[in-house]
Structure 1
C-alpha cells in the first residue's frame, strides 16, 4: 500500500480531530442514545434514530482517520536543507507573468488542502507544475481558463 505524504501540521490536526471524536463526541453520542432510549418506543423515536445516525458518521470518521494515520508518511521540510527546489511541504511564491499578481502557496497532502488558506494539494495542477522546479524557473500551468505562465520567486522550507 502506498504511503500518503502529509506535513507535521496535517498529522497533528488529524490526531486532534481523532482525540476530539473519541473523548468528547463519542461519549456525548452514547449519552444521547441512552437518553433517547428512555423515551420508550424506538420505532418512532426520532431522537434515537438521529443519535444512531450521528454515531455511524462518528465511528466512520474515526476509522477513516485511523486508517490515514496508519499509512502516513510525515514530511517535515523544516529539517531539510533548502536547496531552492520545490518539493512536498515547501512554501512557494509565484508571480503570474501576464498580470504581475503574486501568490504564495504551501504544497500539502490532499487532506490538508484548503485553497482559502493557500494550502494546495500536491495533486493539484499548480503543485504538479511546481514540483521539481527552482527559484527563477518559469512554469506553465494548465488551468480551466487556459495556460498560465508563472515565475517562481521564492521557495521556503518553513
Structure 2
C-alpha cells in the first residue's frame, strides 16, 4: 500500500518540476551516454557501457519512485485548517523552558522540511510533540539527548 503524502502548493510544484526535469533532461542524457559507449566497440569489455547502463537503471528507479510519490501526493487546503491548534502548515513560536530561548518554526510535510529556513517535519520528534497543542500549552518532547519542554507562545498561518 502506498503512503499518502501531504504537500503545500509550492512543495507539490517543486516535486512535479523535478520529475519533469528527470524525464525530459536526465533520461535523454542517459540514453545518449549509452549510445556513445556502444559506439566504442566490444560491449563485453566496455566498462563505460556498463557504467552508463547502471546509471540509467538508477535514474529509472528514481523516476519510478518520484512518480509514485506524485501519484500519492495530496494538496493541503489551508482554508480548512484549525488555527487554534498546531497543525501542518502552522507557524509556531515556542519558548524553550530550560534556557528561555524563543524559536519560530513552520510545520510541513516530511519532504518539504528544511531546518535552515525554519521548516520542520510533522514527523520529527519536535513536530510530533507540537501537533495538536494550543497557545499557552506546554509540550514535553523526548529527543535523543533527553526531554525538552516548550511553551507554545503563538500559532499563525501566513
Task: Give TM-score scaled by structure 1 length.
Answer: 0.89
| Partner residue in 1 for 2:133 | 133
Structure 1: how far apart are the matches of 2:40 and 2:81?
62
| Partner residue in 1 for 2:26 | 25
| Partner residue in 1 for 2:15 | 14
The CA RMSD measured in Å over matched residues stands at 1.7
| Shift of residue 120, structure 1, vs aligned partner | 1.9
CA contact (8 A) 1:82 1:156 kept: no
Q: How many equivalent residue pairs?
A: 157
Secondary structure at 2:107's aligned position in 1? strand
| Partner residue in 2 for 1:109 | 109
Unmatched tracts of structure 2, length 5 or more: none
| Partner residue in 2 for 1:65 | 66
For the pair 1:35 / 2:36, whether they are aligned, the reply is yes
| Shift of residue 81, structure 1, vs aligned partner | 6.1
Task: Give TM-score scaled by structure 2 length.
Answer: 0.89
| Shift of residue 49, structure 1, vs aligned partner | 1.5
| Shift of residue 110, structure 1, vs aligned partner | 2.1
| Shift of residue 157, structure 1, vs aligned partner | 1.5
CA contact (8 A) 1:88 1:122 kept: yes
| Shift of residue 122, structure 1, vs aligned partner | 1.5
| Partner residue in 1 for 2:154 | 154
CA contact (8 A) 1:80 1:157 kept: no
